[in-house]
């Protein structure tokens, strides 16, 4: 990354005003540094030579005090606004990184970059603060104070100016040499930190499963090894920083000493007056100081520079253009997937391939009977209602979850088209719809549902005004009532971000309860991704009860089915298949219908199950 990358000014609005303010304060500081040196010479020279008393230079002393106070005020203002701008800049970049990663979609995140984005958006970008607070101001001061001070020295003593002009290029030369080594070390440290973050995130996500199988202590060796690698990389960066700082300090100290020796010899031999000599001696360290500070703080900012570079690379990744049309009212509409094919990662496979699917969302809910939630099981008679259940089945890796993500607009197909047909007959491509107006009408339960932090009641109700009777009824249908009864604080039990504190099965039941509490008129479409994957037989029955409750509320349920019980409960079964991505399939994926098995409405649950088994 460049010392001042233009992309930082483009991406972070807070950085623009901060750079302008810092540049202005740099010019003010340069003027104050020069004034301070000249005033010191004008005060000390007469005092040393005995040609003036304190009352004779009182006005100069007062002016010097004002200059020193103004310089301190400029430093205070720069520090104050630097901290504010750094906080805002990091916040803006973090928001853009997270939003762009979300716009790239789950396929991009699933390619192994998700944990790296999480590390980058948290600890990685936090390291950008030293760059903005320390390094960048000194860089701008080096561009203002150093030339101004050198110009004044040239007017006072051309010999000292020549010495400074010859020695000062050595400082950036050594900075470049050492900086290249440090930058590589920082990049390696960031990679190690991202690997450690990914390992910890994976461990936390799979900890309930590891605990269930008694393997919780297995990955600790790997985490410890990555932690040691991170420690070694950090110590390597600090070692290089300390050594390079010593080199720069030694170089600038020797340069100032050469100037001082030259001035002293000419003073002894009468070749220079005392007042300009004092001014030159005061200005010489000020010429080198910004460059010394740039070298000193550069090493503290290299982690932030590496993180910013990765953030800009991520933001340069092309993302699909977001839709702009408001979503239609889903009730009474039909979602049609025609010849949909999605490439499976980097493999030459379409999963799904040539998928045709029509999901009709019921026009409106009906009032369910009190006994609907406890109706007979999947093989028995079902209560009447306008809702429908569509099951997506297929072999592992066939693209069932991807098909559900296409339906939600999270993944755009590589072939085929997805459209909504409204009750008025208008056809709207899903790619043109603003998803922020579409998602509020859909209840989405992934395999690993995430809950908002707060109490269990707050996580489940999600801001809805729900009375205790309704909450208890939904919890009973979803099987959450037994979980609440076993918790020490019941509904007031604190839940961490993502559902921390609950097992995967408990989170699943909490998410089911939250979906049951939703207004059927507002969320007429429910999409489930293998809801029974982490549940036992009793939990499976809970999911079946919830599915029946949604259908009897008048909702349309699309479920990625893994177990036969869910398939038997469906009104329509669609088989999802994969196919190799060849030139022929790539050209005809939009119209392919092979690999699709649809069990139409009207066939019995047993016939549907037999068809899927076949």
Banded pLDDT at 146 (limits 50, 70, 90): confident
Percent of the chain with pLDDT over 90: 1
pLDDT at 77 over 50: yes
Q: Which residues contact 241 (CB under 8 A, 6 or more apart)?
A: 182, 299, 300
Percent of the chain with pLDDT over 70: 76
CA angle 249, 252, 258 (to 5 degrees): 135
CA-to-CA dists, residue 525 to 139, 333, 380, 563, angstroms: 56, 10, 24, 21
Contact 323, 439 (CB under 8 A): no
pLDDT at 36 over 80: yes
Contact 542, 513 (CB under 8 A): no
pLDDT at 591 over 50: no
Q: How far apart are CA 521 and CA 25, in angstroms?
A: 59
Q: How far apart are CA 2 and CA 305, in angstroms?
A: 9
Mean pLDDT, residues 174-183: 66
- Ordered by where they begin, the domains of the chain are 6-315 (1.20.1560.10), 334-613 (3.40.50.300)
Mean pLDDT, residues 59-85: 86
Report the mean per-residue pLDDT for the chain: 76
Contact 130, 116 (CB under 8 A): no
* Model pLDDT, residue 305: 73
* Model pLDDT, residue 294: 76
pTM beyond 0.75: the answer is no
Q: For residue 358, list its beta bridge partners.
A: 336
* Model pLDDT, residue 110: 66
Banded pLDDT at 182 (limits 50, 70, 90): low
**pLDDT per position as a tens digit, 500-541:** 667 777 787 888 888 888 777 788 888 988 877 666 677 778
**pLDDT per position as a tens digit, 361-375:** 876 554 443 344 333
* Model pLDDT, residue 364: 57
């Amino acid at each position: 990354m460049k010392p001042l990358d233009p992309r930082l000014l483009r991406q972070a609005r807070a950085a623009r005003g901060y750079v302008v303010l810092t540049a202005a304060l740099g010019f003010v500081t340069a003027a104050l540094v020069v004034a301070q040196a000249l005033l010191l010479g004008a005060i000390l020279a007469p005092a040393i030579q005995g040609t003036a008393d304190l009352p004779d230079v009182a006005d100069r002393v007062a002016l010097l005090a004002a200059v020193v106070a103004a310089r301190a005020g400029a430093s205070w203002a720069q520090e104050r606004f630097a901290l504010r701008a750094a906080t805002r800049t990091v916040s803006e970049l973090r928001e853009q990184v997270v939003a762009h990663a979300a716009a790239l979609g789950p396929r991009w995140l699933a390619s192994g970059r998700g944990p790296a984005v999480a590390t980058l958006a948290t600890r990685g970008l936090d390291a950008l603060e030293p760059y903005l607070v320390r390094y960048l101001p000194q860089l701008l001061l080096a561009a203002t104070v150093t030339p101004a001070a050198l110009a004044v020295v040239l007017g006072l003593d051309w010999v000292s100016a020549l010495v400074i002009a010859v020695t000062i290029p050595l400082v950036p030369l050594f900075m470049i040499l050492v900086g290249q080594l440090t930058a590589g070390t920082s990049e390696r440290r960031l990679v190690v930190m991202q690997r450690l973050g990914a390992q910890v995130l994976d461990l936390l996500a799979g900890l309930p499963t590891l605990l269930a199988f008694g393997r919780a202590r297995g990955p600790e060796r790997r985490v410890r090894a990555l932690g040691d690698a991170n420690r070694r990389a950090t110590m390597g960066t600090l070692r290089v920083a300390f050594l390079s700082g010593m080199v720069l300090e030694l170089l600038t100290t020797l340069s100032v000493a050469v100037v001082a020796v030259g001035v002293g010899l000419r003073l002894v031999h009468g070749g220079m007056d005392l007042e300009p000599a004092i001014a030159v001696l005061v200005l010489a360290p000020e010429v080198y100081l910004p460059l010394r500070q740039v070298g000193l703080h550069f090493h503290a900012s290299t982690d932030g520079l590496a993180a910013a570079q990765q953030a800009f690379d991520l933001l340069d990744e092309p993302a699909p253009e977001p839709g702009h049309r408001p979503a239609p009212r889903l009730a009474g509409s039909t979602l049609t997937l025609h010849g949909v094919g999605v490439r499976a990662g980097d493999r030459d496979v379409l999963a799904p391939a040539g998928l045709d699917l029509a999901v009709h969302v019921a026009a409106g809910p009906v009032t369910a009977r009190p006994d609907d939630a406890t109706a007979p099981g999947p093989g028995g008679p079902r209560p009447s209602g306008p809702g429908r259940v569509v099951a997506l089945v297929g072999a592992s890796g066939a693209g069932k979850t991807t098909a559900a993500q296409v339906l939600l607009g999270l993944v755009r197909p590589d072939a085929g088209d997805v459209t909504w047909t409204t009750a008025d007959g208008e056809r709207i491509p899903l790619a043109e719809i603003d998803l922020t107006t579409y998602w509020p009408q859909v209840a989405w339960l992934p395999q690993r549902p995430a809950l908002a932090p707060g109490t269990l009641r707050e996580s489940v109700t999600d801001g809805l005004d729900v009375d205790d009777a309704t909450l208890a009824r939904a919890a009973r249908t979803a099987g959450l009532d037994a979980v609440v009864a076993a918790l020490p604080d019941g509904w007031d039990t604190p839940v961490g971000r993502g559902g921390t504190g609950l097992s995967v099965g408990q989170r699943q039941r909490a998410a089911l309860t939250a979906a049951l509490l939703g207004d059927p008129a507002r969320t007429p479409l429910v999409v489930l991704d293998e809801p029974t994957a982490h549940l036992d037989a009793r939990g499976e029955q809970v999911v079946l009860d919830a599915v029946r409750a949604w259908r009897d509320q008048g909702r349309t349920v699309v479920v990625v089915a893994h177990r036969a019980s869910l398939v038997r409960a469906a009104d329509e079964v669609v088989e999802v298949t994969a196919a190799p991505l060849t030139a022929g399939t790539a050209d005809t994926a939009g119209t392919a219908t092979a690999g699709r098995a649809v069990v139409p409405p009207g066939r019995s649950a047993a016939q549907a199950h037999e068809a899927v088994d076949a």
